[in-house]
Amino acid sequence: MADFILAIDQGTTGSTVALMDAQGRVRAAVNNEFPQIYPQPGWVEHDPAEIWASVEKGIRAILRKKICKPGNIAAIGITNQRETSIVWDRQSGEALNNAIVWQCRRTTDFCESLKSAGHEKAVKKKSGLVLDPYFSASKYRWLLQHSKGLARLLRAGRVAAGTVDSYLVWQLSGGEAHVTDVSNASRTSLMNLAKVDWDDSLCELFEVPKDILPRIVPSAGVMGHTRGLSVLPDGIPIAGMAGDQQAALFGQACFAPGEAKCTFGTGSFILMNTGEQPLTSEAGLLTTLAWQLGDDAKPVYALEGGAFICGAAVQWLRDGLQIIRRAPDIEKLAGSVSDHGGVEFVPALTGLGAPHWAPEARGTFTGLTRGTERGHIARATLDAMALQNADILRAMEQDLGKRMKPLRVDGGAAANNLLMQIQADVLGRKLIRPQVIETTVAGACYLAGLGVGLWQSTGEIKRIWQVEREFRVAMSAAARRRRQASWEEALGRALL
């Protein structure tokens, strides 16, 4: 009986392949990292061939566990790092350049030129996004201008462009399907949120031909089948797809308006379900499309705020400053001191995201004294991860006009109990951590399962989702205000 879902969670630093059964249990997961490429300061690239190789390797490893036979896989679900942009040859399937990663800032000057020309208001009204190098459109433009032989391939109709989800479906389907789901399309700056289709004027503004873009499809439903692979048989439906943050929102069972989650990954991202109508932000947040469950279903929208550096700050302490040996060591080191000791760290290592949108900002440490220890640096880093999320939450509440419900948390760093307690304290909100904290995988599986009828409704999925632990607020309101004031002073220096 085909009652397993194979999930591909293609992330910024590695690809996870996982297997979920019909009861919603993740039976196995394998992660394979791949190289990060930094051609010059502020630039970040991936080799698409390395991405695909990491996915193939993960699929082989999962099948070697013999939990199920390939014939027992009912569907494949995909979730992916968003905004990362790829162009490839439709004929050979080979990428025409390295992928430009979502963190990359190389198109800052172009985005600033569009702002200076007065285009930001129109772009935000149509796409829900601000003009920032974070999003895919300016990356596509750069790739189209800097890939060798591209003009000839364009004339021959051989160029395909897409985010990582599109590239993976192309590879899985042997080039038969060039698609993207509504959530990923909404992160490009090229999709009209109201029409849920590519916008002619936005494509013209960013100089991206519409005919190279993928077809936009719902997040749940069969969008292709495996073909010509060495790792899987032909004919397995690819039936669920969403950008990683939308997949995490779905995986957290945030199906009702007002329900929200925060994912602690390379960056940190808060998304809140706003229902079937897009809510325009006046506080520096993004309006995005969360998912669409089939052709006849109405799209569900979300408000989003993201901080570019979260878990990446811990990696920097490990690899750059070398004050910890392993990323999990930060919890013990930060817990060795009672507080941050006056040290503030603004982790603007690749600029600042929501609600500031300051690509020129750079990381800063303030408050250092002769008494500063490694523990204070570690604690200031955890505090910063939580405080930047608090800034996003307050912006969300400003847009909503009311307090949010308790926040659901997930991602690798959500396993850090000290960080979760700090987050609850500086937010002034209860946090809820689920049993499965890698909810991007869960979201991809739930969408694919719905896409092939393994589950019939979100109500069934709601019953599968379970709480592991709650973190209640332990900080007084007065202490929270003092902590926020210290953070805002340091933030002001980083934004100078």
- Which fold does the domain 4-251 belong to in CATH? Nucleotidyltransferase; domain 5 (3.30.420)
Domain ranges of the chain: 4-251
Q: Which residue from 432, 48, 58, 74 is spatially nearest to 235, judged by alpha carbons?
A: 74
What is the reported pLDDT for 149?
A: 84
What is the reported pLDDT for 1?
A: 57
Walking along the chain (496 residues) 10 residues at a time, the average pLDDT comes out as: 88 92 89 92 94 96 90 94 95 94 92 94 90 93 91 90 97 96 96 94 96 96 95 95 95 90 87 87 87 92 87 89 91 93 90 80 90 94 94 85 85 91 94 88 95 92 91 95 93 83
Question: What's the pTM?
Answer: 0.86
What is the reported pLDDT for 443?
A: 95
What is the reported pLDDT for 66?
A: 87
